[in-house]
């Protein structure tokens, strides 16, 4: 079985396929590596593709650790697989792990692609773009009263009305019935991380090719955040998917793959 034990003793499950330049895919809260299946299938034709299950998700084991410890574990996994320079595509919470990985081993990341992600998820006096802390805590409390159904309810809420009316979304909902349910404690701990972690300084220090991808109907990463980031990172590439929510790579996989492929090609060494 493709597991690698991290320095934390967490057993990280992964899929690795293809040959060539490396790409690491990191998923977000409440899902697993299989959410990237349309990307791994496409990019493995020309790249070596690694998709991981975060601790407590999919087939990875769970142990309460900090985001930094997760990043050190991920670095260990990359070293074990001899991925000394990899491109990273990270969605939502996965983007925070990608930024933490960059903070500890910037030399290992070649290009960084953040999808529906931001360096700070909780709103504060100096950061109006995040979620209200009360909403994050409410979702956390619902894990005690409505788990696991609340995970599916939340997943559905991340798509726009237009997306939910498509055949593809109906297929996604049907397919998710066979997904492994994440460990409740892991979900709760990750929400605590989202509430407390602030990686704005790390993002400001990123000095490699950077791509941001958002759905214009994403209620997690609001248009005001997207505008602010575009003003701050004038040299980065931005791609916006109209009428898409938090997961444009699920709703528009072919278009998503095309903009990522173009970014990788345009920023080739």
pLDDT exceeds 70 at position 178: no
Band (pLDDT 50/70/90 cuts) for residue 1 is: low
CB-based burial label for 49 (10 Å; 0-12, 13-18, 19+): buried
pLDDT exceeds 60 at position 148: yes
* 247 Cβ contact list (under 8 Å, min separation 6): 35, 91, 115, 116, 158, 159, 215
pLDDT exceeds 70 at position 19: yes
How many domains are contained in the chain? Answer: 1
- CA distances (Å), 16 to each of 2, 9, 23, 48, 93, in order? 9, 21, 10, 7, 21
Band (pLDDT 50/70/90 cuts) for residue 172 is: confident
Phi, psi of 203 (to 5 degrees): -60, -40
What string of H, E and C letters represents the secondary structure of 8-33?
CCCEEEEEEECCCEEEEEECCCCCCH
Please give the residue range of the domain that contains residue 112: 3-266
CATH classification of the domain holding 212: 3.40.50.1820
Structure tokens at 179: 């997904």
Report field, pTM of the whole predicted structure over 0.85: yes
- Provide the CA 99 distance to its chain's centre, in angstroms: 11
User: What mean pLDDT comes out for the span 164-183?
Assistant: 85
Band (pLDDT 50/70/90 cuts) for residue 225 is: very high
Q: Are the C-beta atoms of residues 186 and 55 closer than 8 Å to each other?
A: yes
Band (pLDDT 50/70/90 cuts) for residue 176 is: confident
Helices 149-157, 167-176: axis angle to 10 degrees equals 160
Per-residue model confidence as pLDDT tens digits over 49-90: 999 999 999 999 999 999 999 999 999 999 999 999 999 999
Per-residue model confidence as pLDDT tens digits over 87-136: 999 999 999 999 999 999 999 999 999 999 999 999 999 999 999 999 99
| The pLDDT value given to residue 180 | 81
Structure tokens at 264: 């990788």
| The pLDDT value given to residue 88 | 98
Q: Where are the beta strands (DSSP E) in the chain?
A: 3-5, 11-17, 21-26, 47-52, 86-91, 109-115, 210-215, 237-241
pLDDT exceeds 70 at position 8: yes
Name the residue among 187, 184, 159, 189 with its Cα closest to residue 173: 159
């Amino acid at each position: 079985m493709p597991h690698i034990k991290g320095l934390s003793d967490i057993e990280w499950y992964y899929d690795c396929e293809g040959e060539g330049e490396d790409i690491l895919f990191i998923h977000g809260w409440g899902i697993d590596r299989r959410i990237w299946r349309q990307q791994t299938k496409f990019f493995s034709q020309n790249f070596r593709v690694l998709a991981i299950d975060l601790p407590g998700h999919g087939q990875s084991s769970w142990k309460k650790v900090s985001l930094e410890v997760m990043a050190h574990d991920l670095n260990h996994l990359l070293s074990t697989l001899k991925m000394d320079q990899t491109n990273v595509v990270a969605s939502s919470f996965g983007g925070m792990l990608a930024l933490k990985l960059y903070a500890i081993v910037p030399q290992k990341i070649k290009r960084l692609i953040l999808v529906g992600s931001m360096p700070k998820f909780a709103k504060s006096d100096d950061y109006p773009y995040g979620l209200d802390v009360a909403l994050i805590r409410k979702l956390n409390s619902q894990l005690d009263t409505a788990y696991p159904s609340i995970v599916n309810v939340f997943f559905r809420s991340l798509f726009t009305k237009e997306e939910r009316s498509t055949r593809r979304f109906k297929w996604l909902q049907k397919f998710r019935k066979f997904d492994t349910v994440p460990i409740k404690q892991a979900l709760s701990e990750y929400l605590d991380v989202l509430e407390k972690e602030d990686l704005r300084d790390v993002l400001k220090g990123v000095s490699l090719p950077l791509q941001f991808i958002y759905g214009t109907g994403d209620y997690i990463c609001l248009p005001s955040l997207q505008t602010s980031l575009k003003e701050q990172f004038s040299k980065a590439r931005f791609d916006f998917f109209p009428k898409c929510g938090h997961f444009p790579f699920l709703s528009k996989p072919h278009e998503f793959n095309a903009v990522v492929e173009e970014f990788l090609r345009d920023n080739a060494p």
